[in-house]
Amino acid sequence: LSLDEKKKANIGQVRKLIGPMGDSMVVAGSDKKMRVHIHTDNPSEVMLALNRVGNITFQKVDDMVMQKEISSNAKYPVALLTDSTCDLPEELIEKYQIQVVPLSVHFGDTYFLDRLTLLPSEFYSMLDKSAAYPSTAQPAYKDFFNRYSYLSAHYDSIIGIHISAAMSGTWSNSSKASHAVAEHSGKPIKVINSKRLSSGLGLVVLRAARELENGATFEELSGRIEKWADNTKMYVSSRTIKYMVKSGRVSYAKGKIGSLLNLKPIVIVNNEGKTETFGKPFTEKASMKMIMKEIAEKIGNRKIWGYSISHAKNLSTAQWFADEMKRITGLDPEFINEASPVLGVNVGPGVVAVSVMF
């Protein structure tokens, strides 16, 4: 942590600032630059507090509870790893001991770890106030290498399932690191490009976890996951086109026209794992109805494995979709959760992603 001289903070004030947020705190260094260590249940609270008094140049978060569980009570012989764009609720991650490697969210020179040091609710508050539009970055090779090395010491094999390679370099870094660790450890590691993200990725990871719970082997899972991903359809409704322009997903010229027409684009993820526009209704309600009409036609008389919903500050619309989906399928959602800031950066607040696995 490099302290901001304008804010006139010192090492003693830093101790006082974050001391009540946890225990085993160590703050060492000078009034200009220091290292901070703390055990806390709220890493995002700590990081946001430190960010107010200085520049965070490096951050690392370890889930000590999960580490203890894995070392003493790993539930399955196969470790399941994904990234923070999966939008799985914390209770499911803990239940199935799913390993989650975070992407990073950058506001100018300041960065945060997705869902660890920056929660979705905090992200949207910062989005409204920040002069710099945020960007995202995939986890580094080293992050994956360290995680695979740790897991290879506690599991017989590992399966990684990631955000579409067409949208992020996450799969690439994970794959490269897995090869190095597999060669060194002799443990089999399979890394899969889901060609999905958000609630769609979460649905694929959740099904893999359920199959592990039912006794599936590494070989069995490795041969099934890509098919499950291909059978997962995802529809994203949005309130405005402006965030797609800011993130570079839509050109300025097209965005200008879309804004003038007040379009509410519907985005889908195609079989290549790329986003494309499905429809361009003029109202949010029309967008919602168009998505449900398409889903109902896709389902027809078929059974589905399940569905999931992610949202960015739009629980009411997420619940509307859940009610409609239950009406036509008779099923409750596998989960409804706040969308990762990674989705919010590209589409903005108000977005709702509905994913269905056939």
Q: How would DSSP label each residue in 215-255?
A: T--HHHHHHHHHHHHHTEEEEEE-S-SHHHHHTTSS-HHHH
Residue 123 burial by CB count (10 A; 0-12/13-18/19+): exposed, middle or buried? Answer: buried
When pLDDT is cut at 50, 70 and 90, the band that residue 207 belongs to is: very high
pLDDT score, position 40: 97
Lowest-confidence region among 20-34, 92-106, 177-191, 293-307: 20-34
Burial of 37 (0-12, 13-18, 19+ CB in 10 A): exposed
Q: What is the rounded average pLDDT for all residues in the chain?
A: 92
Q: Does the pLDDT of residue 88 top 60, yes or no?
A: yes
- pLDDT surpasses 60 at 89: yes
In angstroms, the first-to-last Cα distance of the chain is: 48
Pick the CATH number of 232-357 from 3.40.50.720, 3.30.1180.10, 3.30.930.10, 3.40.50.300: 3.30.1180.10
Mean pLDDT of 205-230: 98
CATH number for region 64-228: 3.40.50.10170
CA distances from 86 to 23, 38, 66, 100 (A): 30, 27, 18, 9
pLDDT over threshold 50, residue 19: yes
Phi and psi at residue 57, in whole multiples of 5°? Answer: -95, -20
What pLDDT is stored for residue 252 in this prediction? 52
Q: How far apart are CA 280 and CA 284, in angstroms?
A: 10
Residue boundaries of the structural domains of the chain: 2-55, 64-228, 232-357
Close Cβ partners of 33 (under 8 Å, ≥ 6 residues apart): 1, 2, 3
> pLDDT tens digits for 244-285?
555 555 555 554 455 555 568 888 999 999 988 888 887 889
* Backbone dihedral angles phi then psi of residue 306, each to the nearest 5 degrees: 170, 180
CB atoms within 10 A of CB 32: 12
pLDDT classification of 241: cutoffs 50, 70, 90:
low
Same fold, 64-228 and 232-357: no
Contacts of 239 (CB under 8 A, 6+ apart): 264, 284, 314, 348, 349, 350, 351
Could you tell me which residues come within 8 angstroms of residue 133 by beta carbon, excluding any fewer than 6 positions away?
Answer: 246, 247
Whether 243 and 229 have beta carbons less than 8 Å apart is answered as no
